[in-house]
Structure 1
Amino acid sequence: MTAKKRVTIIELSVYENTVPLVAGYLQAYAQQDPLVRDAFEFDIFSASLSIDQRELVETLRSRGSDTYAFSCYIWNMGLITRVLPELMAVCPDAYYVLGGPQVINHFLEYAPVGEPKVVVCHGEGEHTFYELLRQLRAPEPDLSQVSGISYWSADGQPVETDKRPRIGQLDDIPSPFGAGIFDDGEYTFTVLETNRGCPFSCGFCFWGAATQSKVYKFDEDRVKADIDWIAEHGVASVFIADANWGHAPRDVELSRHIVAAKQEHGFPTSMVIAAAKNRPERVAEITEILVRGGLVTSQPISLQTVNPTALKMIDRANIRETTYTDLQRSLRERDISSFVEMIWPLPGETLDSFKAGIAKLCRLGADTLTIYPQLLLHNTALYNQKEVMGLEVERASAPEAEADVVVATKWVTREECVEGTWCYYAMHSLYNARGLYHLSAYLDRTGVIPYEQFFTDASFFLRDAENPVSRFFAESVDTADNYSLLNVGKVAHMLLQSRRAEFDELLLGFCQEQEWWSLPYVPLLLDLDLLARPYVYRENIRAPGCPLSRVKLEHLGATEFEVSMADDDWRFLVDQGIVASAGERLRITHPQDGKMPHPRQRDMEHNAAYCHVMIQRLRQLLPVIRPVDHTTTGDGRRLDPVGQRQW
């Protein structure tokens, strides 16, 4: 009996203990054919990007495989390109297969010249990989018979075979969950697909470009069975990979099924979705189901920009802006946190229009704004128009990735791009982290200084300051590290915990340098912001790291401040709608529920991931601000709140 050939499918993921879904798809599809099943032994190797490069090469070499298949994405391609030549040197007789968004249509960039045993797959991989294995059974494979691949011919010429159509019947791909492929693993994170495709073709995104708009669905009962497997096997976190969760009416029922599975098994405990465009009512309904079910704490609103010119240039003008404002309103009525996602710099966006967009969203009361740098992704419309759009890029410093960050466009110089990024850090610090939230709102509302100029002035102050916070911002800008999702969490960790006192001093220093500092109620609002800045961990609150100007701190408890103030200051706070009525003292109570203690032994990466989630569920972190009459009972409890409001 002929020994089986061994094929190893490699997934290198951002997170530890991730279900290798792509590898599972490839194996489940291919082994349906008895000829392939009898000829190959399947082996899946899954690891996080933290794995040592030499360890990875040695581990794969020890597999002794005849074929190695890599799943290639922007976040792991730097590691793969270093590992591939080393692995080929120690396993010269094996075939090497590269598939995934990063390598599609980029054969010449990733396949070593003249190496006939390196194959690049284009498009969906299941059927292509299956056909490739059928050929690799033979002593002399004929790769020309496999559609959807590129390779080097024996005479050193690049060959590209016919393009393969998309898989229209997704249920032709067996569920790897149902096939038992993952049964022996222990996982904490998984991706779940219920459909493939996207009806939109946003210029910065590969999704629509790759799928040509048509959406195909997996059978609903199959999806529910996959959800049940996830819950029964204790997988904690789920990312729904659909481009538009909530686009289909059935997504409401699937959301309810996930909640029911959690109630029965205790898992999953968290979930992330990419919400549907132009379906605000259904998305709000789904979000409420998931929030009440304890699976999500906040809803992303992927706006990207509010500039009509930029929206048109990225082919996103058909997504209504009212969709996002309606969704935000609906979520606020349900007391559900949301966060607006934007991208800087997009084609057509100028520095002034970017600042104006931030200001507009602040005036509309967005809970938080998350602004990502523009990444130039392979195979997107913008990638194919980069010269026309004047897109200049720099490679981010993370060695395991291949993140090309846009640093200039036809509408934005490199210097303006840097200024816009600093302006984002100022907004993130003063609005998202509530550094000067009440003060900036008052100055904008009264026409003293609009948000656009306020954040600009703050950004220049931060750039000139000698402070750990400013140094972190400067390094992030210089290395394009802000492309990492963890960057948002690192900033929140510093501003709201590790560098809290230093940041208080920065806030006071900035205010005292401004002309508006002499206005009557500005010091009062600064005091309020210093006391009301949220806490991201469950810990005892602290007195501000700088002196208070207009209020007197009368009481500092584990979770609350009490301050006294002059009568005219009380009248001002009532007039501004910050409190409902005057009292003897102002009580600011910081919530503790839903927070974890500060894990002092954990590294910054771990803390950043937690803080990123927390800053995006800001409503649950904000203190209750209320006046109290200082009447007490015999046991010292304070009574009679006369009005309260959460900010």
Structure 2
Amino acid sequence: MKFLLAAVNAKYIHSNLGIYSLKACADARMAGGPVEIELAEYTINHQPEQVLQDIYRRRPEAVGFSCYIWNISFVRELIADLALVLPKTEIWLGGPEVSFECETLLHSLPAVRGVMKGEGEETFCRLAAAYGEAERLGAPLQAERGIPGPSDADLAAIPNLAFRRRHGGIFQTPAGPPSDMGSFPFSYKQLGLENLEHRIIYYESSRGCPFSCSYCLSSVDKALRFRPISLVKRELDWFLERKVPQVKFVDRTFNCKKSHALAIWRHILEHDNGVTNFHFEIAADLLDEEAMELLEKMRPGLVQLEIGVQSTNPETLREIHRRTDIGEIRRITARINSWHNIHQHLDLIAGLPWEGIESFRTSFNEVYGMEPEQLQLGFLKVLKGSHMAEMAESYGLVYSRRPPYEVLSTRWLCYEELLELKGVEEMVEIHYNSRQFVHTLGLLQEEFSTPYDMFLHMARFYREQGCAGLNHSRVARYEILWKMIGSLTVDCGRREIYRDALVFDLYLRENAKSRPEFARDQNPFKERMREFYRAEAEKPRYLPGYQGCDGRQLQRMTHLEGMGDGTFVLFDYRDRDPLDYNARTWRLDLDGAVKR
């Protein structure tokens, strides 16, 4: 019989470690058994009809869906039709979105046979084995429908299940013991998964979390476990040998056990292939001097750190049970910034208890001042099973009943203020996290009292101009920002400085073929530019890596921009910064060059 494990990912580049692990474990345990386990990965951008057709053509006897807040609406819609076209196929659900309130869920989804709660490896292995045994014996699951499968008694012996009985009623089995992290096979190798160069690869070296953050489901699992470091090293070598672009550790607090984190960081430093990037979610205030000295040695781009600050309000941090030393985070992130070798992503959450609009503005300005490569402004998701959901009424927490259950208002933050934060979030994503306006933002910040005020002004300008929420081309973004700068009270000299900063930012990332309308006319400089490139082709001074190219070819592959102060900026796209991927630049004048 065929058991299909289906994942509906948020994006094509994502991979689903959950279903890989279930299949790898079941295959290893039941090698040559009667159950064929297949994998199918889709995205929420697929049409449900496309996914339905694909599953129908596979004809599974049972199908299991991996469920999260971002795909549950899609899965619910799909299940309704799947039950109509494959009425004899058993449907199972698993994942964090369905592991709580199982009885309510099963009552709302009559086509679903059951739910695998919590960790799935042991549960799925035993469930698949039960289907295999029923297949071997030829036992009918429901005689009137002719569906082969395990009996209620067989299912009742499997831990972490909630299932619909044959003759009515829902039965939930007790929880099993926490999984042994060393008992799982390495999914990617076990399944022979290759061609991973265009995917983000997720990897797990630990489960559970020692902290008790009230908004997070990881706090529910107190059984903190680690995969043996000998296995982790071998598995990381497998990724390194294949030069996978990015390995994203899903460990909730990667450095909560110092020896484990240091062993992994030492290994990737010593075996760096010059290509693979490793992403870790850490607690910055747990980094000690030994860890810092190790991180400082990393190749630019080898390591990426995500640091969940969430708030700088002490009352908020106490209420959400988050032990965070903001002063220490500030010190640590500043030191990491000074090395210019590690991307830092700092996270804030809007809608937390005791955090009103003024408090959040303070949190935003403090974290912005830490100068991360990305500042992720997220909004509270009230997850089923979390302590935050239990406290919702006392917090006056109003949130959407539709996934992802995002906050709408609290006792401290009204919906109008939340909309203000939404506008700021959009501007941060466009102008800060894209890293395409770095120099312009540095100038623009001088016009405002705080960084928050700057992004708020941008958001209001976008809304007034009818630009908010729309997709714009890269050049159009620069033109909108130029128009906004024109609405400020700045003198002509300052305006010209902004013009040069915008053009500099535009060409820093790519040799743009379309120029914005505000860009300075380059016709007066054309002959001077041609002379520069002719001389550079004959005797390279700034572009040594272009041997054999004539002046015209050099001009096409690089960019030279005449600026308002009479100098020129040369952009070399072959020699990029390994951390931010910006072009190498030279500021040229008649007397020489200054590297930037």
Question: Secondary structure at 1:271's aligned position in 2?
Answer: strand
Query: Aligned in 2, Cα 1:194/1:304: closer, same or farther, shift over 3 Å?
Result: same
State the Cα deviation string for residues 269-327 of structure 1 (Å, max 9, x = none): 333221234233466556545544x534x5433222222222222221x1211342123
State the Cα deviation string for residues 332-378 of structure 1 (Å, max 9, x = none): 22123433222223222211122222223344444442312333333
- The CA deviation at 1:241 is 1.2
Percent identical pairs in the alignment equals 19
- The CA deviation at 1:243 is 1.6
Contact 2:575 2:584 (C-alpha < 8 Å) held by counterparts: no
Q: Say if 2:266 is the partner of 1:275.
A: no
Q: Tell me which residue corresponds to 1:485.
A: none
Q: Tell me which residue corresponds to 1:63.
A: 58
Question: Secondary structure at 1:511's aligned position in 2?
Answer: coil
Matches within 5 A, 1:183-262: 183=193, 188-189=198-199, 190-209=201-220, 211-212=221-222, 214-233=223-242, 235-247=244-256, 248-258=258-268
Q: Say if 2:464 is the partner of 1:464.
A: yes
1:438 to 437, 442, 447: 442
State the Cα deviation string for residues 255-281 of structure 1 (Å, max 9, x = none): 343456552xx7x63332212342334
Question: Secondary structure at 2:285's aligned position in 1?
Answer: coil
Measure the CA separation in 2 of the matches of 1:93 and 1:390.
Answer: 45
State the Cα deviation string for residues 4-58 of structure 1 (Å, max 9, x = none): x322222222343765532232233334555x85332222223344433223223
Query: Aligned in 2, Cα 1:305/1:624: closer, same or farther, shift over 3 Å?
Result: farther
Query: Aligned in 2, Cα 1:25/1:545: closer, same or farther, shift over 3 Å?
Result: same
Query: Aligned in 2, Cα 1:452/1:224: closer, same or farther, shift over 3 Å?
Result: closer
Measure the CA separation in 1 of the matches of 2:80 and 2:461.
Answer: 48
Measure the CA separation in 2 of the matches of 1:175 and 1:431.
Answer: 38
1:546 to 513, 518, 525: 518
Measure the CA separation in 2 of the matches of 1:553 and 1:511.
Answer: 30
- The CA deviation at 1:593 is 4.7
Question: Secondary structure at 1:150's aligned position in 2?
Answer: strand
Query: Aligned in 2, Cα 1:534/1:300: closer, same or farther, shift over 3 Å?
Result: farther
Measure the CA separation in 2 of the matches of 1:45 and 1:353.
Answer: 45
- The CA deviation at 1:410 is 1.7
TM-score, length of structure 1 as denominator length: 0.73
State the Cα deviation string for residues 70-115 of structure 1 (Å, max 9, x = none): 1112222222111212222233233222111110113245325584
Measure the CA separation in 2 of the matches of 1:418 and 1:595.
Answer: 38
- The CA deviation at 1:500 is 4.1
Opposite residue 156 of structure 1, the aligned amino acid is: G
TM-score, length of structure 2 as denominator length: 0.79
Measure the CA separation in 1 of the matches of 2:302 and 2:90.
Answer: 42
Opposite residue 592 of structure 1, the aligned amino acid is: Y
Contact 1:116 1:151 (C-alpha < 8 Å) held by counterparts: no
Contact 1:114 1:152 (C-alpha < 8 Å) held by counterparts: no
Q: Tell me which residue corresponds to 2:534.
A: none
Opposite residue 378 of structure 1, the aligned amino acid is: K
Q: Tell me which residue corresponds to 1:151.
A: 163
Q: Tell me which residue corresponds to 1:592.
A: 573
Structure 1 vs Structure 2 CA RMSD: 3.7
- The CA deviation at 1:453 is 3.8
Contact 2:351 2:379 (C-alpha < 8 Å) held by counterparts: yes
Q: Tell me which residue corresponds to 1:569.
A: none
Measure the CA separation in 2 of the matches of 1:112 and 1:595.
Answer: 57
Q: Tell me which residue corresponds to 1:350.
A: 356
Query: Aligned in 2, Cα 1:49/1:131: closer, same or farther, shift over 3 Å?
Result: same
State the Cα deviation string for residues 119-175 of structure 1 (Å, max 9, x = none): 1121111112223234433333422222211122344323222122322x2112233
Q: Say if 2:323 is the partner of 1:313.
A: no
Measure the CA separation in 2 of the matches of 1:171 and 1:19.
Answer: 22
Measure the CA separation in 2 of the matches of 1:457 and 1:50.
Answer: 33
Q: Tell me which residue corresponds to 2:148.
A: none
2:377 to 371, 375, 383: 371
Opposite residue 276 of structure 1, the aligned amino acid is: A
Query: Aligned in 2, Cα 1:440/1:186: closer, same or farther, shift over 3 Å?
Result: closer
- The CA deviation at 1:420 is 1.9
Query: Aligned in 2, Cα 1:220/1:339: closer, same or farther, shift over 3 Å?
Result: closer
Contact 1:17 1:48 (C-alpha < 8 Å) held by counterparts: no
Contact 2:3 2:37 (C-alpha < 8 Å) held by counterparts: yes
Opposite residue 24 of structure 2, the aligned amino acid is: A
Question: Secondary structure at 1:182's aligned position in 2?
Answer: coil
Opposite residue 377 of structure 2, the aligned amino acid is: I
- Structure 2: segments with no counterpart, 5+ residues: 140-150, 530-554
Opposite residue 196 of structure 1, the aligned amino acid is: R
Measure the CA separation in 2 of the matches of 1:185 and 1:525.
Answer: 47
Contact 1:435 1:507 (C-alpha < 8 Å) held by counterparts: no
2:502 to 530, 536, 555: 530
Matches within 5 A, 1:356-435: 356-394=362-400, 402-427=403-428, 433-434=437-438
Query: Aligned in 2, Cα 1:592/1:328: closer, same or farther, shift over 3 Å?
Result: farther
Matches within 5 A, 1:134-173: 134-136=129-131, 137-138=133-134, 139=139, 140-142=151-153, 143-167=155-179, 169-173=180-184
Opposite residue 327 of structure 2, the aligned amino acid is: T
Contact 2:500 2:563 (C-alpha < 8 Å) held by counterparts: no
Query: Aligned in 2, Cα 1:553/1:346: closer, same or farther, shift over 3 Å?
Result: farther
Opposite residue 129 of structure 1, the aligned amino acid is: F
Query: Aligned in 2, Cα 1:360/1:541: closer, same or farther, shift over 3 Å?
Result: farther
Measure the CA separation in 1 of the matches of 2:214 and 2:261.
Answer: 26
Query: Aligned in 2, Cα 1:587/1:377: closer, same or farther, shift over 3 Å?
Result: farther
Measure the CA separation in 2 of the matches of 1:425 and 1:391.
Answer: 23
Question: Secondary structure at 2:187's aligned position in 1?
Answer: coil
Q: Which has the higher contact order (CA 8 A, sep 6+)?
A: 1
